[in-house]
A and B are shown apart, each in its own frame.
Chain A
Amino acid sequence: MIKLEGVKKAFGTQQVLDGVDFHVPEGHSLVIMGPSGSGKSVILKHIIGLLNADAGRVSVMGKNVAELDRSGLRELRRDMGYLFQHSALINWLSVFDNLALPLRETTKMSNSEIRARVMHVLDLVQLSAAENKLPSEISGGMQKRVGLARALVTEPNIILYDEPEAGLDPEMSASVSHMMRELKEEHGMTSVTVTHSVSCALTVADTLAVFEKGRFLISGPPTEVLNSKHERVREFLGAQLD
């Protein structure tokens, strides 16, 4: 469903992606871990077409992302949800309007259908009571859940999570991880997650990959990666587990 083949990307003289390859089949969950600033989020931005590779190919649902025109890209993005690291909610819109925005702008749904869909998704993240609040009036954890609800409201087939646990306390972080797991198990959603949290990775991942210096050091089932003999992987994950 998502395939990267020999993807390279440089910003100035810094080679951020240096021949990245992976394949995420439908209904599968890939979790990418790695040091801060190593370029993990850049991978997500290539998948959703915010950045184009200098070399290599990114294909999503059989379409080469780099070859899509503006309308093709919009069409593809309607099938994808993106949870931002800092939620990125529109600050002057209420929680309800933030969720209704993509439906109002990109579908022909009636107001009652939009209301029903938004309230259903808000129920899912247990935030029905906050529908009229502004993002500035709710906590960081609630903002993150609203961000997740907004990513889900268009009922995408693919969801990309950029550090879903960032800024959350351990309890809320675990709750978001379980929500991600449920989405995969109950709705068969395909996902790529970038995270620093081993517990999030273990809850969510079918495949765990460790990324550094533009390349994957290792990828495979989470238990296999955690027990890897690769020195750098052990250093990185050991520090996380400590």
Chain B
Amino acid sequence: MNPFQRVGAALMAPPVVGAGFTMHLGLAALARISHIPKRRRPLLDQMHLCGIKSLHVVLFVNFFIGMILALQLGFELARYGQQEAVGLAVSVAMVREMAPMMTAVVLAASVASAMAAELGTMRVQEEVTALEVMSVDVYSYLVAPRVLALTLIAPMLTTLSAIVGILGGGLIAYSQLGLDFHGYLRASLEALSDNSFFGVPRGLYTGLMKAMIFGFTISVIGCSNGLRATHGASGVGNSTRAAVRNSIIMIIVLNFFLGKIIYQ
């Protein structure tokens, strides 16, 4: 194999082809947002699946995240006599980082896997091929409603997660650290009132922006892995596993770069 062939073979390696298809799929979904009025019903169905069916898990996880943050930060801050600052620390951490990221991780595990499994099953059972043969635009019919649904639902779930996380932190602040609950809430709200942007606290809108980007990324990765499934049931299993793994990796990497861009 000559050097040109080696470069060509490397460029056509499955992970590179997969990444290229995923980017193409994201752009194709964005280009079909104008089709959404025709797809109201599937959009609402997907929002129900992504939102309502994941809500209890997302809230449960974030309530505990808030409690863990309050417990760990509270004990450390108490060593320096600063335990009153726990409300500030928990609310900033929840709104900026933990609520968007933990919600996205739960959505990756529950929704991206479901999208990959559903579309993967359709692919291996030739249902996707049947749509192509019938001249149905697969990106408009299958992908756009899923991507838009999760892009819209992720910020809503993140808002609720942040609230529940702060309340969880408040429970620990009151029961374990001996703080006044109202004082804790006041400190939490004050921490978020800085740098407001058109009346919306900066921490909140940046957190929601992150959540939207995470929602978009997770859904595109889920759909992409599903549509590339091959080789029957084991192929669907592989595509589901890859969807969850790649989504979580992308959430963590994007979280770092978004944080750097927004707060630096």
Contacts and interface: CB of A to CB of B under 8 A. Distances in A.
A84 B127 CA distance: 9
Interface string B116-131: 0000001001110111
Interface string A76-111: 011010101110111100000000011001100000
Contact of A77 (B122, B125, B133, B141): B133
Contacts of A77: 133-135
Contact of B133 (A50, A85, A89): A50
- Interface of A (DSSP majority class): loop
Contacts, number: 48
Contacts of B125: 86, 88, 91
Given A90-B127, A91-B127, A106 B136 contact: yes
Nearest to A107: B135
B137 interface: yes
B190 interface: no
Contact of A102 (B122, B129, B134): B134
Contacts of B133: 48, 50, 77, 80, 82
B132 interface: yes
A81 to B, nearest CB: 8
Interface string B138-152: 000100000000000
A86 B129 CA distance: 12
A88 B127 contact: yes
A150 B134 CA distance: 9
Contacts of B134: 77, 101-102, 105-106, 150, 154
A74 interface: yes
Interface residues of A, number: 20
B129 A50 contact: yes
Interface string B224-248: 0000000000000000000000000
A90 B129 contact: no
A82 B135 CA distance: 12
A192 to B, nearest CB: 14
B136 A88 contact: no
Contacts of A80: 133
A84 B126 contact: yes
Given A84-B130, A106-B136, 10 more contacts: A74-B135, A84-B129, A88-B129, A88-B130, A91-B122, A91-B125, A101-B134, A105-B141, A150-B130, A154-B134
Contacts of A150: 130, 134
A77 B131 CA distance: 11
Most buried by A among B126, B129, B133, B141: B133
Contacts of A84: 126, 129-130
A48 B127 CA distance: 15
Interface in B129-185: 129-137, 141
Contact of A50 (B132, B136, B141): B132
B126 A102 contact: no
B129 A106 contact: no
A34 to B, nearest CB: 20
Contacts of B129: 50, 84, 88
B135 to A, nearest CB: 4
Contact of B135 (A85, A86, A89, A105): A105
A150 B133 CA distance: 11
A154 B127 CA distance: 18
A84 B141 CA distance: 20
Contacts of B122: 90-91
Nearest to B134: A102
A48 B130 CA distance: 11
B145 to A, nearest CB: 13
20 contacts: A50-B132, A77-B133, A77-B135, A78-B135, A84-B126, A88-B125, A88-B127, A90-B127, A90-B131, A91-B122, A101-B134, A101-B136, A105-B134, A105-B135, A105-B136, A105-B137, A105-B141, A106-B134, A150-B130, A150-B134
Nearest to B141: A105
A68 to B, nearest CB: 12
A89 B130 CA distance: 8
A78 B135 CA distance: 7
Contacts of A105: 134-137, 141
B127 A89 contact: yes
A86 B136 contact: no
Nearest to B126: A88
Given A74-B135, A88-B125, A105-B136, A82 B130 contact: yes
